[in-house]
Amino acid sequence: MSVKAEDRATAASPRPEREKRSALSAGSVLLASHDTQGSRAAERAALDAVVRGGRLHHLVIVPEFWQSITGDGWRINASTEHLFCDYLEAQIEREILEHLARVNGQARASGILYSAGSKHGRLEDCLIAASEEADFDLVVIGAPRPKGRLGLRSRIDLNKLVRGLRVPVVVVPHPGHADVRSG
Protein backbone atom coordinates (compact mmCIF):
# COMPACT_ATOMS: atom_id res chain seq x y z
CA MET A 1 0.00 0.00 0.00
CA SER A 2 1.38 3.38 -0.92
CA VAL A 3 0.55 6.60 0.86
CA LYS A 4 0.45 9.87 -1.00
CA ALA A 5 2.21 12.92 0.44
CA GLU A 6 -1.16 14.64 0.86
CA ASP A 7 -2.45 11.70 2.92
CA ARG A 8 0.61 11.74 5.16
CA ALA A 9 0.27 15.48 5.73
CA THR A 10 -3.36 15.18 6.85
CA ALA A 11 -2.63 12.08 8.94
CA ALA A 12 0.08 13.82 10.94
CA SER A 13 -1.19 15.32 14.14
CA PRO A 14 -0.72 19.09 14.31
CA ARG A 15 1.58 20.51 16.97
CA PRO A 16 -0.30 23.28 18.75
CA GLU A 17 2.86 24.99 20.01
CA ARG A 18 4.25 25.07 16.48
CA GLU A 19 3.51 28.24 14.53
CA LYS A 20 6.00 27.77 11.69
CA ARG A 21 5.91 25.23 8.88
CA SER A 22 9.08 23.18 8.82
CA ALA A 23 9.96 19.55 8.22
CA LEU A 24 12.03 19.77 11.41
CA SER A 25 10.73 20.20 14.92
CA ALA A 26 12.84 20.16 18.06
CA GLY A 27 12.73 21.51 21.57
CA SER A 28 16.48 22.01 21.81
CA VAL A 29 18.81 22.72 18.89
CA LEU A 30 22.57 23.16 18.67
CA LEU A 31 23.39 25.49 15.77
CA ALA A 32 26.90 25.99 14.43
CA SER A 33 27.24 29.11 12.30
CA HIS A 34 29.74 31.83 11.63
CA ASP A 35 27.86 34.47 9.62
CA THR A 36 28.46 33.36 6.07
CA GLN A 37 25.79 32.95 3.40
CA GLY A 38 25.69 29.18 3.96
CA SER A 39 25.57 29.40 7.74
CA ARG A 40 22.77 31.97 7.56
CA ALA A 41 20.73 29.32 5.73
CA ALA A 42 21.46 26.97 8.64
CA GLU A 43 20.38 29.70 11.09
CA ARG A 44 17.02 30.06 9.32
CA ALA A 45 16.50 26.29 9.37
CA ALA A 46 17.44 26.05 13.06
CA LEU A 47 15.14 28.94 14.02
CA ASP A 48 12.31 27.30 12.06
CA ALA A 49 12.97 23.94 13.74
CA VAL A 50 12.84 25.13 17.35
CA VAL A 51 9.35 25.08 18.83
CA ARG A 52 8.10 28.23 20.57
CA GLY A 53 9.52 28.18 24.09
CA GLY A 54 12.27 25.83 22.92
CA ARG A 55 15.98 26.41 23.20
CA LEU A 56 18.62 27.34 20.62
CA HIS A 57 22.29 27.16 21.54
CA HIS A 58 24.41 28.97 18.98
CA LEU A 59 27.99 27.77 18.69
CA VAL A 60 30.55 29.85 16.85
CA ILE A 61 33.64 27.85 15.99
CA VAL A 62 36.86 29.67 15.22
CA PRO A 63 38.68 27.24 12.91
CA GLU A 64 42.27 26.20 13.55
CA PHE A 65 43.64 28.11 10.55
CA TRP A 66 43.12 31.44 12.36
CA GLN A 67 45.65 30.33 14.98
CA SER A 68 48.50 30.55 12.49
CA ILE A 69 47.63 34.01 11.18
CA THR A 70 50.13 36.25 12.93
CA GLY A 71 50.97 38.87 10.33
CA ASP A 72 54.56 37.74 10.26
CA GLY A 73 56.59 38.98 7.37
CA TRP A 74 59.81 40.74 6.66
CA ARG A 75 58.45 44.13 7.85
CA ILE A 76 56.95 42.75 11.05
CA ASN A 77 58.89 42.60 14.31
CA ALA A 78 57.75 41.08 17.63
CA SER A 79 56.10 44.32 18.75
CA THR A 80 54.08 44.88 15.59
CA GLU A 81 53.23 41.19 15.38
CA HIS A 82 51.70 41.41 18.87
CA LEU A 83 49.73 44.52 17.85
CA PHE A 84 48.50 42.80 14.71
CA CYS A 85 47.36 39.73 16.67
CA ASP A 86 45.52 41.95 19.18
CA TYR A 87 43.85 43.81 16.31
CA LEU A 88 42.83 40.57 14.57
CA GLU A 89 41.40 39.06 17.78
CA ALA A 90 39.44 42.24 18.51
CA GLN A 91 38.07 42.34 14.96
CA ILE A 92 36.98 38.69 15.11
CA GLU A 93 35.36 39.29 18.51
CA ARG A 94 33.45 42.35 17.20
CA GLU A 95 32.15 40.42 14.21
CA ILE A 96 31.12 37.45 16.36
CA LEU A 97 29.27 39.69 18.85
CA GLU A 98 27.38 41.43 16.01
CA HIS A 99 26.49 38.04 14.56
CA LEU A 100 25.29 36.67 17.91
CA ALA A 101 23.20 39.79 18.54
CA ARG A 102 21.46 39.37 15.17
CA VAL A 103 20.59 35.69 15.75
CA ASN A 104 19.60 36.40 19.37
CA GLY A 105 17.12 39.04 18.16
CA GLN A 106 15.61 36.61 15.66
CA ALA A 107 15.31 33.88 18.30
CA ARG A 108 13.67 36.18 20.85
CA ALA A 109 11.20 37.44 18.24
CA SER A 110 10.19 33.80 17.69
CA GLY A 111 9.80 33.03 21.40
CA ILE A 112 12.95 30.91 21.51
CA LEU A 113 15.34 30.81 24.46
CA TYR A 114 18.80 31.69 23.14
CA SER A 115 22.28 30.99 24.42
CA ALA A 116 25.63 31.19 22.70
CA GLY A 117 29.20 30.07 23.05
CA SER A 118 32.37 29.68 21.08
CA LYS A 119 35.08 27.10 20.67
CA HIS A 120 38.39 27.06 18.86
CA GLY A 121 39.62 24.06 16.91
CA ARG A 122 38.54 21.50 14.35
CA LEU A 123 34.89 21.98 13.44
CA GLU A 124 33.78 18.40 13.98
CA ASP A 125 35.62 18.09 17.32
CA CYS A 126 34.06 21.31 18.63
CA LEU A 127 30.56 20.28 17.54
CA ILE A 128 30.84 16.83 19.10
CA ALA A 129 32.12 18.32 22.37
CA ALA A 130 29.38 20.97 22.47
CA SER A 131 26.68 18.38 21.73
CA GLU A 132 27.77 16.45 24.83
CA GLU A 133 27.60 19.50 27.11
CA ALA A 134 23.78 19.71 27.08
CA ASP A 135 20.74 17.71 26.04
CA PHE A 136 20.08 18.59 22.38
CA ASP A 137 17.46 17.10 20.10
CA LEU A 138 19.13 18.21 16.88
CA VAL A 139 22.36 19.68 15.49
CA VAL A 140 22.12 22.06 12.51
CA ILE A 141 25.02 23.13 10.30
CA GLY A 142 25.38 24.66 6.86
CA ALA A 143 26.85 22.82 3.90
CA PRO A 144 30.29 23.81 2.67
CA ARG A 145 30.51 26.69 0.22
CA PRO A 146 30.16 25.38 -3.35
CA LYS A 147 33.29 25.21 -5.46
CA GLY A 148 33.75 28.33 -7.50
CA ARG A 149 32.44 30.63 -4.74
CA LEU A 150 34.84 33.16 -3.24
CA GLY A 151 35.77 32.97 0.43
CA LEU A 152 37.52 30.74 2.91
CA ARG A 153 36.42 27.12 2.77
CA SER A 154 36.28 25.65 6.25
CA ARG A 155 36.93 21.94 6.21
CA ILE A 156 34.83 19.50 8.19
CA ASP A 157 35.11 15.75 8.42
CA LEU A 158 31.41 14.85 8.08
CA ASN A 159 32.13 11.16 8.60
CA LYS A 160 33.81 11.85 11.95
CA LEU A 161 31.01 14.26 12.88
CA VAL A 162 28.10 11.90 12.25
CA ARG A 163 29.90 9.02 13.94
CA GLY A 164 30.65 11.17 16.99
CA LEU A 165 27.25 12.77 17.48
CA ARG A 166 24.57 11.06 19.55
CA VAL A 167 21.78 13.20 18.10
CA PRO A 168 20.56 13.77 14.52
CA VAL A 169 22.44 16.29 12.41
CA VAL A 170 20.96 18.34 9.59
CA VAL A 171 23.24 19.78 6.91
CA VAL A 172 21.39 22.67 5.28
CA PRO A 173 22.23 23.18 1.59
CA HIS A 174 24.14 26.31 0.67
CA PRO A 175 21.75 28.80 -0.98
CA GLY A 176 24.14 29.19 -3.91
CA HIS A 177 24.31 25.44 -4.60
CA ALA A 178 21.56 25.54 -7.26
CA ASP A 179 23.26 28.49 -9.00
CA VAL A 180 26.51 26.54 -9.34
CA ARG A 181 24.77 23.40 -10.64
CA SER A 182 22.77 25.22 -13.29
CA GLY A 183 25.51 27.62 -14.33
Map out the domains of the chain with their CATH numbers.
23-182 (3.40.50.620)
- Mean pLDDT, range 24-50, rounded to an integer: 90
How far is Cα 150 from Cα 147, in angstroms, rounded to an integer? 8
pTM above 0.85, yes or no: no
pLDDT at 81 over 50: yes
- CA–CA separation, 35 and 31 (whole Å): 12
What's the sign of the alpha-carbon dihedral 110, 115, 119, 122? negative
Establish how many alpha carbons lie within 13 A of residue 95's alpha carbon, considering only the half-sphere containing its beta carbon: 13
pLDDT in tens, 151-168: 666 678 889 999 999 999
Q: What is the pLDDT of residues 121-149, one digit of tens each?
A: 889 999 999 999 999 999 999 887 777 76
